[in-house]
Amino acid sequence: MSSPIQIPGKMRTVAASVSPTTTNIHDRFASLHRQESLNVRQPRVLHPVENEGLRLLILENISMEAVNAFKAQGLHVDHYTKAMSEDELLQKIGSYHGIGIRSKTKITERVLKAATKLLVIGCFCIGTNQVDLKAAASAGIPVFNSPFSNSRSVAELVMSELVVLSRQLFERSYELRQGLWNKQSKGCWEVRGKTLGIVGYGHIGSQLSVLAEAFGIRVIFFDVINLMPLGSARQVESLDALLSEADFVTLHVPELPETINMISRDQLTLMKKGAYLINNARGKVVDIPALIESLKSGHLAGAALDVFPSEPGSNGSPFDDQVNPWASTLRSLHNVILTPHIGGSTEEAQRMIGQEVSQAVLRYIGLGSTIGAVNFPEVDLRAITAEEGDHVRVCYVHKNQPGVLKLVNETFAPYNVEKQYSDSKGEVAYLMADIANVSPMDITSLQESIRRTDANILTRFLA
Ligand SMILES: NC(=O)c1ccc[n+]([C@@H]2O[C@H](COP(=O)([O-])OP(=O)(O)OC[C@H]3O[C@@H](n4cnc5c(N)ncnc54)[C@H](O)[C@@H]3O)[C@@H](O)[C@H]2O)c1
């Protein structure tokens, strides 16, 4: 059911008081400038013309901050701590406009077919392979995630691993827990003055660079693109150059065909004797049997691994030779830190994920913005201001085929299109347009014309 368009009042003006002691030209200019900057054009809060009373299904114990952010915008939220099976989802999903999940709830094509009202999916995690992204895009549903909220957490973990490895901290601690006093300094080093080689200078690598320099560590990095080094860090020309110069090598590249086994026997041989390898990126980036060989021979002094080619699916599962054939050998080596993919697992990262994904979901519902969507063209328009009371925003998800824009613009022709932007990704395209001087009655006929276009997947009007 359509709700009337809200026509808010005029632009809000905040009055600035001018001090009676303002005497010289500079003061007067400054106070004028201040007045002008306070006459800010306030963005207007938009509401879906249809779908009033939006309902969200939030699963898997997503942070309360996210739930509260949704509620604060007047959305109805059903919040569950557990994941839902496909059958449970098939029963429930039909009455929801949005769903928030983590990694355990699978959004399959069958679920999407049953999701007749669904507008948006929020993955409150890093990965999105639990969602059939293509089927979601074809149904006009953008999927948002939070790929970089835990960069700082990973960088801090690496900092701790540098010190723990170079002081053989876990071995000493293990011995003392066994009742053995073994005070020694041989083979234990400060990290100050050592060289850290960062492979992949993206979100994590660059954060780490700054933290490491604060410890007095020299930083070199290798990346496939030329990047501005932070602080005194230095980009080197090749992976080989980095490997032969660094005392610590830490990996922060994505898993790609060219990064699988990028650290294998030849690369380990190039590393300095007594160097350390740290992998918090993806398990397949390191050839682990070759690493085991290097550690056993004493060429490398230690390693820290947070990620593995195969990882158990749930907590409490064994990490044994059935998961990875070399697991028991790896577990028996000295000065090797093994952690269960916890690089990004902190309370802060979870909070950031909650904030980032809830904001992206709200921006899509309220403003139509798809910036950050993983399966959708990324489109946004600057806000409609409070004084633009008769403007309507059209959000038109359509099939990426010839002739669509001509048809749509013919429909818009009687109005003034204030701004418009469209983009495509694969078979799906998305157009946003702000149109002026649209009366509430015009909206219905505009909606009908646009929805009648062959290419229409999902059209929403915000006003
Ligand atoms: N252990 C964890 O819990 C955890 C948490 C978050 C991220 N990660 C992983 O960490 C890795 C890095 O994450 P990020 O957020 O910094 O990614 P990012 O995309 O910001 O940075 C990756 C960098 O690697 C570079 N790169 C790509 N291919 C390369 C190659 N062949 N050689 C050298 N550089 C190359 C890219 O140019 C980019 O600068 C990813 O694999 C991610 O999945 C792990």
pLDDT digits over 392-439, tens only? 999 999 999 999 999 999 999 999 999 999 999 999 999 999 999 888
What pLDDT was estimated at residue 5? Answer: 30
pLDDT tier at 313, thresholds 50, 70, 90? confident
Give the span between the Cα atoms of 186 and 124, in whole angstroms.
46
Q: Whose CA is nearest to atom 5 of ligand 1?
A: 344
DSSP 72-88: HTT-EEEE-SS---HHH
What pLDDT was estimated at residue 6? Answer: 32
| Interval between CA 202 and ligand 1 midpoint (Å) | 6
Structure-block tokens of residue 141: 């549903």
- Given a cut of 70, whether residue 22 has pLDDT beyond it is no
Question: Could you give the residue numbers annotated as active site?
Answer: 282, 311, 341
Residue of 369, 463, 384 whose CA lies nearest to 423: 369
- Find the radius of gyration of the CA atoms of the chain: 28
| Interval between CA 448 and ligand 1 midpoint (Å) | 46
Q: What residue type is assigned to position 336 of the chain? A: V
Mean of pLDDT values over 159-172: 97
What pLDDT was estimated at residue 211? Answer: 98
- Given a cut of 90, whether residue 343 has pLDDT beyond it is yes
pLDDT digits over 169-189, tens only? 999 999 999 999 999 999 999
| Interval between CA 253 and ligand 1 midpoint (Å) | 3
Q: Whose CA is nearest to atom 21 of ligand 1?
A: 202
pLDDT tier at 45, thresholds 50, 70, 90? low
Mean of pLDDT values over 127-145: 96
Kindly state if the Cβ of 199 falls inside 6 Å of ligand 1. yes
Q: Are 295 and 268 in contact (CB under 8 A)?
A: no
Q: For residue 100, what are the β-bridge partners? A: 58, 122
Q: For residue 394, what are the β-bridge partners? A: 433, 461
Q: Whose CA is nearest to atom 3 of ligand 1?
A: 343
Q: Are 48 and 392 in contact (CB under 8 A)?
A: no
Kindly state if the Cβ of 150 falls inside 6 Å of ligand 1. yes
CB neighbours (10 Å) of residue 365? 24
pTM for this structure? 0.80
Q: Whose CA is nearest to atom 8 of ligand 1?
A: 281
Give the span between the Cα atoms of 252 and 262, in whole angstroms.
12
Kindly state if the Cβ of 139 falls inside 6 Å of ligand 1. no
What pLDDT was estimated at residue 314? Answer: 82
Mean of pLDDT values over 362-370: 96
Kindly state if the Cβ of 221 falls inside 6 Å of ligand 1. no
Kindly state if the Cβ of 447 falls inside 6 Å of ligand 1. no
What is the C-alpha end-to-end distance of the chain, expressed in Å? 14
Q: Which atom, in ligand 1's list, is nearest to the CA of 282?
A: 41
Give the span between the Cα atoms of 266 and 37, in whole angstroms.
61
Structure-block tokens of residue 394: 């059209």
For the chain, the residue count is 463
Kindly state if the Cβ of 228 falls inside 6 Å of ligand 1. no
Q: Which atom, in ligand 1's list, is nearest to the CA of 222?
A: 33
pLDDT digits over 96-130, tens only? 999 999 989 999 999 999 999 999 999 999 889 99
Give the span between the Cα atoms of 224 and 132, in whole angstroms.
30
Burial string for 291-325 (b: 16+ CB within 10 Å, else e) reads bbebbeeeebbbbbbbbbbeebeeeeeebeeeebe
Task: Give percent above pLDDT 90 in the chain.
Answer: 82
Helix (H, G, I), strand (E, B) or coil at 300: strand
Given ligand 1 and candidates 148, 152, 253, which is best to mutate, with the most ligand atoms within 8 Å of its CB? 253
Kindly state if the Cβ of 205 falls inside 6 Å of ligand 1. yes
What pLDDT was estimated at residue 188? Answer: 97
Kindly state if the Cβ of 354 falls inside 6 Å of ligand 1. no
Mean of pLDDT values over 373-388: 92
Helix (H, G, I), strand (E, B) or coil at 142: coil
Average pLDDT over all residues of the chain: 90
pLDDT digits over 252-301, tens only? 999 999 999 999 999 999 999 999 999 999 999 999 999 999 999 999 99
Query: 152: part of which helix (H) or strand (E)?
Result: helix 151-166
Helix (H, G, I), strand (E, B) or coil at 45: coil
pLDDT digits over 196-218, tens only? 999 999 999 999 999 999 999 99
What pLDDT was estimated at residue 441? Answer: 84
Task: Classify burial at 236, counting beta carbons within 10 Å of its beta carbon; exposed 0-12, middle 13-18, buried 19 or more.
Answer: middle
Beta strands 300-305; 336-338: pairing state = parallel
